[in-house]
């Protein structure tokens, strides 16, 4: 099914657009485009291109197109005048977090009681938008001054990706690498076989643990599920597994059914919120604020003094709280006709998308939550459930935490705004910031690459999300050389333990400092 809407048939060289028109258009490098007629021809499928509709999709466009479309193709769908980036009188939808929060707060006002009842699992799972909307809607700007300042800078000049700049130079070298070695950017045949084996193993462990009561199988189930989330689920969400749109989408659905979320929710949470606004509160709810404080710009609360201690009691329950919050957001979204992940609308183009979301969540709920308690005595069911959860959640949470929440990343990010104007001309406004905000570990370890799903090479992942992680070791050498030429830091720890230690010290430091 092609997910699209009728074209607006706008005239070329428009200098102003209504809010309703912008919600159906794409903004790219300060220009407005109507790709509606191109949606069904998009190589990665209609879902991929529709992610950028109604928002400034410059970062998404640049990071997902290692090989850029021709200027002639883009020009065919441009509907704005060349100087539209300085003449647009209306803000782009979802471009201002403060505006969105106040809009959403009014939208969810009818559900305030439901939000309060569900706030415990939602807050702990780090969906800070619900937390702010239901409790502090009047002081959002005060709590996120850095995000507001960065948004202002983007309104002034959007993003810079000039030829000869950091990111365009890096992408050119990456294209040459794949062309010279005659390689596909997607997964190898062995990785596809491994994906099938992983899914089958998880279901075998589901039977052994949740039906037969095996404690060893419960631990293995947790390991398998964690690997599934950070490998095939993660890769398919970035269109990095298969070139076939159909295969990639079905692999995404199957792997997500054992992960605890749904394709629509995870795509918005991870691709739109995390990859575009890494570490920016409240857009990137992976920061888990206010449960933990990782940046200077986040207000320090009294309990943050102990965050380096209590956070280790939160991490083991991350994925189950994530799942409960997804169920809550599905219920609230169905009630108001629109689901949100953070401040971003979840793209639900058809009724089929709602069915897909509901089915994957309910499928997981049955096999993960109900099955053990239906088949086993309560104490045994609780034991296998907790063993699986602790194993999966701890590994999953640590992989994402150590990738962005260490001292070097925080200090680099703090200096981004100070050097923003100087760096605009070099084309490193955003992607240079992603290098600063990311942290690698065990760069030469194939074992770490495998068990982290390539998250140990987080810098390369954020620069090239649509490239399968098995290519990251080779790309890391290209990235390091390019970073050196453009005077960008490349943060690397020798081991996972070293990365966890850095994360611990960062938590302790941010808990002690104002």
**Beta strands 440-441; 31-33: pairing state:** unpaired
**Beta-bridge mates of residue 183:** none
Chain position carrying tokens 């720890």: 493
**Beta-bridge mates of residue 345:** 340
Give CA 340 to chain center in angstroms: 14
CATH class of 19-93: alpha beta
> How confident is the model at residue 9, as a pLDDT?
60
Give dist(CA 275, CA 268) in Å, integer: 10
> How confident is the model at residue 195, as a pLDDT?
93
Each residue's pLDDT tens digit in the chain (514 positions)?
444 455 566 666 777 788 788 888 998 888 889 999 999 999 999 999 998 898 888 888 988 988 777 778 888 899 887 765 533 433 433 433 333 333 333 333 333 333 333 333 333 333 333 333 333 333 334 444 434 443 443 333 334 577 778 888 999 999 999 999 999 999 999 999 999 999 999 999 999 999 999 999 999 999 999 999 999 999 999 999 999 999 999 999 999 998 888 999 999 999 988 888 787 766 787 888 889 998 887 889 999 999 999 999 999 999 998 889 888 888 888 888 888 887 788 877 678 888 999 999 999 999 988 999 999 999 999 999 999 999 999 999 999 999 989 988 876 555 444 444 444 444 444 556 667 788 999 999 999 999 999 999 999 999 999 999 999 999 999 999 999 998 888 999 999 999 999 999 999 999 998 7
Q: Are 397 and 225 in contact (CB under 8 A)?
A: no
> How confident is the model at residue 92, as a pLDDT?
39
Give dist(CA 328, CA 330) in Å, integer: 5
> How confident is the model at residue 315, as a pLDDT?
96
DSSP for 139-158 reads GHHHH-HHHHHHHHHHHHH-
> How confident is the model at residue 408, as a pLDDT?
82
Could you tell me which of 382, 391, 514 has the C-alpha nearest to residue 451? Answer: 391
Give dist(CA 477, CA 186) in Å, integer: 19
């Amino acid at each position: 099914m092609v997910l699209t809407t009728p074209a607006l048939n706008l005239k070329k060289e428009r200098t102003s657009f209504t809010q309703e028109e912008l919600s159906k258009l794409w903004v790219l490098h300060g220009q407005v485009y109507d790709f509606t007629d191109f949606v069904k021809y998009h190589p990665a499928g209609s879902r991929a291109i529709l992610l950028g509709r109604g928002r400034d999709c410059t970062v998404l466009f640049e990071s997902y197109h290692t090989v850029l479309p021709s200027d002639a193709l883009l020009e065919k769908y441009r509907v704005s005048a060349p100087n539209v980036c300085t003449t647009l009188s209306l803000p782009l939808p979802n471009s201002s977090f403060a505006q969105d929060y106040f809009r959403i707060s009014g939208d969810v006002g009818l559900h305030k009681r439901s939000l309060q009842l569900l706030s415990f699992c939602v807050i702990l799972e780090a969906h800070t938008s619900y937390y702010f909307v239901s409790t502090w809607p009047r002081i959002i700007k005060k709590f996120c001054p850095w995000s507001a300042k960065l948004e202002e800078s983007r309104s002034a000049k959007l993003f810079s990706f000039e030829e000869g700049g950091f990111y365009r130079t890096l992408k050119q070298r990456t294209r040459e690498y794949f062309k010279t070695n005659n390689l596909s950017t997607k997964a190898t045949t062995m990785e596809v076989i491994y994906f099938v084996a992983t899914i089958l193993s998880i279901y075998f462990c589901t039977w052994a643990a949740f039906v037969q009561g095996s404690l060893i199988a419960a631990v293995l189930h947790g390991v398998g599920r964690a690997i599934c989330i950070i490998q095939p689920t993660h890769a398919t969400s970035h269109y990095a597994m298969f070139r076939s749109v159909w295969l990639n989408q079905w692999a995404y659905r199957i792997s997500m059914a054992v992960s605890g979320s749904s394709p629509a929710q995870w795509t918005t949470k991870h691709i739109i919120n995390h990859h575009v606004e890494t570490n920016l509160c409240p857009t990137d709810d992976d920061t888990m604020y206010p449960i933990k404080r990782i940046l200077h710009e986040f207000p320090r609360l009294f309990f943050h003094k102990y965050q380096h201690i209590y956070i280790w009691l939160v991490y083991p329950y991350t994925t189950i709280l994530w799942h409960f919050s997804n169920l809550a957001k599905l219920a609230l979204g169905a009630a108001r006709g629109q689901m949100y992940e953070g401040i971003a609308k979840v793209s639900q183009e058809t009724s089929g998308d709602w069915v897909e979301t509901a089915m994957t969540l309910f499928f997981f709920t049955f096999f993960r939550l109900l099955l053990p308690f239906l088949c086993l005595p309560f104490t045994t069911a609780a034991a296998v459930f907790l063993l699986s959860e602790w194993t999966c959640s701890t590994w999953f949470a640590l992989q994402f935490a150590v990738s962005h929440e260490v001292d070097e990343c925080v200090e680099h990010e703090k200096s981004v705004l100070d050097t923003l104007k100087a760096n605009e001309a070099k084309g490193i406004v955003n992607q240079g910031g992603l290098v600063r905000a990311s942290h690698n570990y065990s760069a030469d370890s194939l074992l770490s690459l495998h068990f982290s799903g390539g998250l140990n090479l987080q810098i390369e992942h954020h620069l090239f999300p649509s490239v399968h992680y098995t290519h990251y070791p080779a790309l890391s050498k290209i990235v390091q050389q390019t970073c050196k030429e453009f005077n960008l830091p490349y943060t690397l720890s020798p081991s996972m333990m070293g990365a966890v230690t850095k994360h611990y010290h960062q938590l302790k430091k941010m808990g002690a400092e104002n």
